[in-house]
Structure 1
Amino acid sequence: MRIAVIGAGALGGTFATLLARVGHDVTVTARGEGLAAIRADGIRLSGKFGDAQARPRALERLTEAPELTLVCTKAQDAAAAISDNAAFIDGSPVIVVQNGLDGVSTAERLLPRSDCFGALVIIAANYTEPGQVSVTTAAPTYLGRGTGPVDAATRAWQAVLGEAVPVVAIDNFVGAQWTKLIVNMLNAIPAITGMSVQAVVDHPGLRRVMTASMREAVRVGLKRGVRFGALQALGHRRLRLFSVLPLRLGQLLPLMMRVRMGDVPNLGSTQQSLRRGQRTEVDFLNGAVVREAGAAGVTAPVNALLAALVHEVEARGASLTPADVVARFDALPG
């Protein structure tokens, strides 16, 4: 099958390599050093899915229509990347592999003739250098669309992708997007401090801040009438309980997530963007919580603080100390 992967970073590189490994004809889009590296040496994948190398066709933008497209850009780049390639992908199936809440709706708006799906990825992968990706945590990818039960088209694409990576078709995909947003609260503090996700969770003060951001995000979702979808060991009942626990007890949630990560340092996608000198997707993660809170008539001060601190680090080019992050959190009203 002719498959296009738009955005050949950590996740795009992983999917492109694994799909090529099982025999698909893969084209990737990339820019700058990444494009040059893939054209010269292909994509080298190492880590939990095994070592593999693929030599996909590498372009700045597509020049022919694929049979399936995976959009693997960061959330802030999705609209531009989809628009750049719309002439060739509008009318064919598209799977948006992306954090945040808006990816599938953005694709549906820009590609009115396409059948659009979403994929939630729990895989942790580090883009170590252009053309090289290391997978530190192998996990299923969750595929679906809408708030209803899994449909036949989702099952069909599950079968295609499942040849390359473990894929689970899920009901209530929109609710699962919210659950993944809670998981993505792991990203901001590592980016702010320059620490791994594991080191942040191991730090008592930072773990307290992280837990507060997660609990706040769950409370906002509940205010918005969200029924959280099942994703790994998380679901609506567990997250609703988490939302009312004291902060001290709620810290069991990030500790549980940390156990699943293992000990290979996970930088988080936001920190990886910072290290490459790119804009981060914090406005589509913590910033999404702030916007949804406003729509619900409430505030989200913890997530607003973390989004502001990520932007501060972007501007300064230097990390903040754990003590500084905890002090800023402790200074929040209430």
Structure 2
Amino acid sequence: MGAGSVGCHLGGWLAAAADVTLVGRPSLIDAVQRDGLTVTDLRGRTRTVRPEGLTLATDASAVEGAHYVLLTTKTLATAQAVRQIAPYLQHDSIVISFQNGLRNASQIDDALASAFPSRASRPLVLSGMVPFNVVRSDDSHWTQATVGRLKVKDHPRVDPFVRAALGGGLHIDVEPDMRSVLFGKLLLNLNNAINALTGLPLAVELRDRDCRVVLAACQEEALALARRLSITPARLTPLPPAAMPALLRSPTPVFTNLSRSALKVSPTARSSMADDLDAGRATEIDELQGAVVHFARDHGVPTPVCARIVELVREAEAAGADRQRWSGAQLRRAVGL
């Protein structure tokens, strides 16, 4: 549900081992109906699924009868999407959130309340995590642009999904503590806004030390919040989360040498937030730096850099096509570093 870059990438691989329905915008569904769906992973493996190998729809009613509903909308659309699919779910349906942010599972459960007043009767909601970027290479071609393995909340009823994914070529780790995983992913996703404000490809932006210094400051504020909340962020990269700010601040030759996997990205890959700004769409900033500011305020943790990044993204959203593209040095000064 909400088939975009992530949804189409997952659906393309899953289609080899399961019946897959894509529910998305008419323009996207029309492209897949015309050309089929092509997906490519980071190793260059490519699969094309012909249109007749998928069920393609623009209406939420298409989820009726699905054992698993993968929610891949932007976080801003979570509540609306869940209200749309709720009438077509059964009490034994399973909804898995493959979205950015910390709060999606609880928001999905809350949005199901009108259709399922009894919490005991509601579909099972599980958190998932997509660690990599996916870029749209062509109208109906989606390519994994960065490294990482999918994760999903460990639960007995998730086993058939994990097995089907493996049969389709997707490796998914089951995790008992998704709170830790989602916080670890949040630390990485804090770069989305910095990348969007610069407008640079990820590979270029990450080689700019000023950009990395801003990211390091955002991560330090989030790590301080994690300590206050007694959360140990999951290690999703070769480096422990607590060590990432120091690496980010290191000279570029040192960072480049120690971060080869992080820099193994498509040359044109950017964050989805950069694409949102270019398209004039609202961004997910409230679930990234905005979430850090929100929770930190309640727990007395100062977050001046994250708060300033939120302000700058809001200004960029309002400015539209006339928004400023910040250099790393300009952005560093703008956040007071």
TM-score, scaled relative to structure 2: 0.85
Pick one of 17, 20, 23 that aligns with 1:29. 23
Using the alignment, how far apart are the partners of 2:33 and 2:149 within structure 1? Answer: 29
- Taking the aligned partners of 2:189 and 2:198, their CA distance within structure 1 comes to 16
- Whether 2:109 is the aligned partner of 1:104: answer no
- 2:31–2:140: 8 Å Cα contact kept in structure 1? yes
2:264 paired residue number: 262
Q: Work out which of the residue numbers 21, 35, 46 in structure 2 matches 1:41.
A: 35
- For 1:16, which of 8, 11, 15 is the aligned residue? 11
Q: What's the % identity of the aligned pairs?
A: 24
Rounded to whole Å, the distance in 2 between the matches of 1:128 and 1:47 is 12
Q: Which residue of 1 is the match for residue 135 of structure 2?
A: 126
Taking the TM superposition and a 5 Å limit, the aligned residue runs for 1:40-119 are 40-48=34-42, 50-54=45-49, 55=51, 56-60=54-58, 61-63=60-62, 64-91=64-91, 92-111=93-112, 112=119, 113-119=122-128
Go from structure 1 to structure 2 and tell me whether the alpha carbon gap of 1:110 and 1:190 turns closer, same or farther (over 3 Å shift). same
The equivalent of 1:3 in structure 2 is none
Q: Note the alpha carbon deviations across 1:270-304, whole angstroms, 9 max, x for none.
A: 11222333221111111111101111122311111
Corresponding residue of 1:162: 166
Query: Taking structure 1 as reference, are residues 27 and 225 closer, same or farther at Cα in structure 2, changes over 3 Å only?
Result: same
Q: Structure 1 residues 25, 241: closer, same or farther in 2, change over 3 A?
A: closer
Aligned to 2:277: 274
CA RMSD of aligned residues (A): 2.5
Note the alpha carbon deviations across 1:187-215, whole angstroms, 9 max, x for none: 11110010022212211211111111111
Of residues 282, 286, 311 in structure 2, which corresponds to 1:283? 286
Paired position in structure 2 for 1:139: 148
Higher mean C-alpha displacement, 285-294 vs 62-71: 62-71
Deviates more, 1:78-87 or 1:26-35: 26-35
Aligned-partner residue type, residue 95 of structure 2: V
Question: In 2 relative to 1, CA 19–247 (structure 1 residues): closer, same or farther, beyond 3 Å?
Answer: closer
Deviation of 1:249 after TM superposition, in Å, equals: 5.4
Partner of 2:115: none
SS state at 2:102 partner: coil
Give the residue type in structure 1 aligned to 2:238: A
Deviations 1:227-265 (A, max 9, x none): 32343435xxx334667x698459988985563341423
The answer on whether the counterparts of 1:171 and 1:229 sit within 8 Å (CA) in structure 2 is no
Q: Please give the alpha-carbon distance, in whole angstroms, between the structure 1 residues aligned to 2:249 and 2:32.
A: 47
Which amino acid in the other structure matches residue 17 of structure 1? Answer: G
Please say which of residues 40-49 and 286-295 is displaced more in the overlay.
40-49
* Structure-1 separation of matches of 2:17 and 2:130: 22
Question: CA 1:255 to 1:214, structure 2 compared with 1: closer, same or farther past 3 Å?
Answer: farther
The partner residue of 1:206 within 204, 211, 229 is: 211
1:104 maps to amino acid: A
Give the secondary-structure state (helix, strand or coil) at the position aligned to 1:62.
helix
1:324 is matched with which residue?
330
Tell me if structure 2 keeps the 8 A contact 1:143–1:167.
yes
TM-score (norm 1): 0.85
Pair 1:233 & 2:232 matched:
no
- Structure-2 residue corresponding to 1:179: 184
Deviation at 1:152, TM superposition (A): 2.5
CA contact (8 A) 2:97 2:128 kept: yes
Give a deviation string over 1:128-175, Cα, whole Å, max 9, x none: 45433122235310111xxxxx44334443223222201111121111
Q: Per the alignment, in what secondary structure is the counterpart of residue 202 of structure 1?
A: coil
2:234–2:241 Cα contact (<8 Å) kept: no
Note closer, same or farther for the CA distance 1:137–1:263 as it changes in structure 2 (3 Å cut). Answer: closer
Q: Gaps spanning 5+ residues in structure 2: where?
A: 113-118
- 1:89 to 1:258, Cα distance in 2 relative to 1, 3 A: farther
Distance in 2 of aligned mates of 1:255 and 1:294: 37
Aligned pair count reads 316
Instruction: Determine helix, strand or coil for the equivalent of 1:187.
Output: helix
In structure 1, the partner of 2:156 is 152
**Partner SS, residue 127 of structure 1:** strand
Cα distance per residue 1:73-100 (max 9 Å; x no partner): 1111111111111111242011110110
Structure 1, unaligned runs of 5 or more: 1-5, 145-149
Q: Structure 1 counterpart of 2:215, which letter?
A: M
Task: Please say which of residues 204-213 and 157-166 is displaced more in the overlay.
Answer: 157-166
Q: Distance in 2 between matches of 1:247 and 1:121?
A: 22
- Which segment is superposed worse, 282-291 or 253-262? 253-262
